[in-house]
Amino acid sequence: MSDEAPKDWKLKLHYGQTDTRYEHFAMVADGEVLEANADFKTEVGPCVLSMKAWAKDTEEAAEMMIAISNHLGFKMAGKIDIYATEPDAPPKEKPYGYDLKFTPYEGTSPTVQ
């Protein structure tokens, strides 16, 4: 599937008119922002990171989240909750993540591993 998806990509995917070798996942992880990031408007402190991804399986989705979070200065405190979900963006030729959200909260920082 190309990067230029038609407007009816979701219908075509649902009815099998579009093929993809990837599955869609939503992921959530608790942790801490260690380095502020102006692009994502994050500040140092406890935070929940969520994102969506097209990946071949849950393992690839988790690896993707770890790599992206490390790159953005977010350290996970424990496990990643991964859910198979309906997509909000079409699949592409390669796996990818999107819709990253950092949600800060007040309180004690989680135990970062």
Which 3 state secondary structure label does DSSP give 9?
A: helix
The alpha carbon dihedral of 14, 17, 18, 21 has a sign of: positive
61-94 residue pLDDT tens: 999 999 999 999 999 998 999 999 999 999 999 9
- pTM of the model as a whole: 0.83
Residue 8 has pLDDT above 70, yes or no: yes
> What is the model's pLDDT at position 111?
62
* Residue 47 or 14, more confident: 47
- The secondary structure element, H or E, covering residue 46 is strand 45-55
Calculate the alpha carbon distances from 25 to 4, 9, 101 in Å.
21, 17, 15
Q: Side chain identity at 108, as an amino acid letter?
A: T
Q: Enumerate the domain spans of the chain.
A: 28-83
Exposed/middle/buried for residue 34 (C-beta within 10 Å: 0-12, 13-18, 19+): middle
